[in-house]
């Protein structure tokens, strides 16, 4: 959806939307950058939760299935 379509669909002027977006960019903190974190000695009893920016949540009750996490995450529409 373009900004123009969004503005028209919500009854807001395109220039107003652009102003709001400019202001938001000035005050919004930098986007979070994700990187792999390795543990020296993984603890298998820790629960694991991964939350994507799109709102998907993957929870493992214990770390015993943590080796399946990469395959599980690739299957999600993230």
The better pLDDT of the pair 66, 43 is held by 66
pTM score: 0.37
Under 8 Å between Cβ of 48 and 59: yes
Residues in CB range of 57: below 8 A, 6 or more apart: 49, 50, 51
In the chain, domain spans: 1-30, 33-78
Instruction: Kindly report, residue by residue over 40-61, the tens digit of the pLDDT.
Output: 665 667 777 888 777 788 888 7
Under 8 Å between Cβ of 66 and 48: yes
Q: Residue 78: which pLDDT band, with cuts at 50, 70 and 90?
A: low
Q: Residue 63: which pLDDT band, with cuts at 50, 70 and 90?
A: low
Q: Indicate if the pLDDT at residue 73 is higher than 80.
A: no
């Amino acid at each position: 959806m373009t900004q123009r379509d969004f503005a028209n669909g919500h009854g807001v002027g395109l220039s107003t939307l652009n102003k709001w977006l400019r202001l938001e960019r000035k005050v919004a903190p930098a986007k979070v950058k994700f990187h792999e974190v390795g543990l020296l000695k993984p603890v298998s009893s820790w629960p694991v939760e991964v939350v994507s920016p799109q709102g998907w949540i993957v929870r493992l009750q214990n770390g015993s299935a943590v080796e399946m996490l990469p395959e599980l995450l690739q299957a999600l529409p993230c």
